[in-house]
Chains A and B, each alone.
Chain A
Amino acid sequence: MASDPAPARIRPILEEISNMLVSVVGDELLVVGEITHTTTFNDDLALESIEFVALAELLQQRYGTAVDLLGLLADKDIDQILAMTVGELAVHIDRVTAADQACAG
């Protein structure tokens, strides 16, 4: 992430994603250390595809159907998605939820 467009808005999303990851993977994730915006799902967290599916479900429950990780798979394959950083996902969530609220308004 070269620039952080909305750090104040992104930070709570990062925290929520971190909590969801721990609930999906379990406490063993805590030994990885703090999850930051540069943490990658694959290299740093070693997230399995099935754990990604569970994370996608939690994100959709929390943020609504606008956060459609399955939709992301239309453009990227699972390896490309798991190569993302947690920060990139947080920015994506911030963007689509903001757009969703703008549309609703």
Chain B
Amino acid sequence: MALTHTGRLRLHTQRLPGRGPGPGGPTVVFLHGLVMDNLSSFYCTLAGPVSRAGHEVLLYDQRGHGRSERPPTGYDMDTAVADLAALLGALGLDRSPVHLIGNSFGGALALHTALVRPDLVASLVLIDAQLTGDWVEDMTDTLSVAALGLEHSRISEQLAALGRRKEARLTAGADALLNRTTLIEDIAAATAFTARDFAGLRRPVLAVYGEHSELLPGARELARSAADCELCVLPDVGHTVLNEATEGLRGAVLGRLRARAGAVAG
């Protein structure tokens, strides 16, 4: 298993070469969502097509997720950006900016990275990311309820006793992350993005959202306020764009990367 020691922690990484006579250009780095997510959601959907289109790809499990190390603290956005910067440095990918593609909370993290470390970022793709409104409170509430349920029902042990190993492992991982790290309090300390943040954004953005997503108003505000933001709304889907509207998302992302490669070349 590819574990990269960043000097801060060990992160599970997967790198794919850009294949075929594609455009090359900046490496594409994928940022997955929170708690139950890991790099496999992008590995199984967008990573292959992006690699085959000629772009070098980096996927990694964020702190505490998937097969990466799970330290007890450091689940705030600034630490996540520092983890990303350290990883890019450890892999020698910090000499030129990268394309960031983030799903859900990974998209919010991508946007935060572009605001605090624009030197790392060539462009952004945000997939149904939490941006405005009460998302911090909503997410904190949802995670807190889940944490209580996991702690008191000992559901992981029950599932293991029933021989349902996959569910037992998944819930044990979520239990450890929610009840034995500072993740929930770190998320609770986050703040929603503002129109001022969007206006200060100096990197091109593609925002891909589900037609029925509750998060769509935030994306519309981003598209209004940011200097260079294209909003792509996919029909018949809510928040789960990556898994349920994969084809439409793939088309939008590959088209965008092609256009960016042309712009960089030009």
Please report A residues at the B interface, Cβ cutoff 8 Å. 24, 28, 46-50, 52-54, 57-58, 70-71, 73-74, 77-78
Are the C-beta atoms of B48 and A50 separated by less than 8 Å? no
Q: How many residues of B contact A (CB 8 A)?
A: 23
Given contacts A48-B170, A50-B38, contact A70 B165 (CB under 8 A): no
- With a cutoff of 8 Å between Cβ atoms, the chain B residues found around residue A70 in the complex are 16, 43, 47-48, 51
Decide: A48 and B169 in contact? CB cutoff 8 A.
yes
B1 and A57 contact, CB distance less than 8 A:
yes
Are B166 and A47 in contact (CB-based, < 8 A)? Answer: yes
Q: How far is the CA of A47 from the CA of B170 in the complex (A)?
A: 11
When distances are taken between beta carbons in the complex, the residues of chain A under 8 Å from B61 are 50
Contact: A49 with B40, CB < 8 Å? yes
CA distance A70 to B49 in the complex (A): 9
Residue of A nearest to B166 (CB): A46
Tell me if B165 and A46 are in contact (CB < 8 A): yes
Q: Is the CB of A74 within 8 A of B48?
A: yes
Determine whether the beta carbon of A54 is less than 8 Å from that of B1.
yes
In angstroms, how far is the closest chain A Cβ from the Cβ of B246? 8
B44 near A78: Cβ-Cβ < 8 Å:
yes
Q: Does B52 contact A (CB under 8 A)?
A: yes
Q: Judging by beta carbons under 8 Å apart, are A50 and B39 in contact?
A: yes
What's the Cα separation between A58 and B41 when bound, in Å? Answer: 19
B144: Cβ under 8 A from any A Cβ: no
The yes or no answer to B154 lying at the interface (CB within 8 A) is no
8 A Cβ contacts from B163-220 to A: 164-166, 169-170
Q: Dominant SS at the A interface?
A: helix
Residue numbers in B under 8 Å from A78 (CB-CB): 40, 44
Among B124-172, those with CB < 8 Å from A are 164-166, 169-170
For residue B14, CB closer than 8 A to chain A, the reply is yes
The CA-CA distance from A77 to B170 in the complex, in Å, is 20
Q: How far is the CB of A28 from chain B (nearest CB, A)?
A: 6
Known: A57-B14, A70-B47. A50 touches B40 (CB 8 A): yes
Contact of A28 with B2 at beta-carbon distance under 8 Å, contacts A52-B40, A53-B43 already known: no
| B37 vs chain A, min Cβ distance (A) | 10
Q: In the complex where A46-B166, A48-B169, A74-B48 touch, is A53 in contact with B16 (Cβ < 8 A)?
A: no
**In the complex, given contacts A50-B40, A70-B48, what are 11 additional A-B residue pairs having Cβ atoms less than 8 angstroms apart?**
A46-B165, A48-B166, A48-B169, A48-B170, A49-B38, A50-B61, A50-B66, A57-B2, A58-B1, A74-B52, A78-B40
Interchain CB contact under 8 A, A49 and B165: no
Q: Kindly list chain A residues whose C-beta atoms are within 8 Å of the C-beta of B258.
A: none
User: Does the CB pair B44–A54 fall under 8 Å?
Assistant: no
Closest to A68 in B: B48
A94 to nearest B CB, angstroms?
Answer: 23
Give, as a whole number of angstroms, the nearest-CB distance from B29 to chain A: 16
Residues of A within 8 A of B52 (CB): 74
Interchain CB contact under 8 A, A46 and B1: no
Is B260 an interface residue when CB atoms closer than 8 A count as contact?
Answer: no
Q: Which residue of chain A is the closest to B57 with respect to CB atoms?
A: A70
A50–B51 Cα distance when bound, in Å, is: 19
Distance between A12 CB and nearest chain B CB, rounded to angstroms: 23
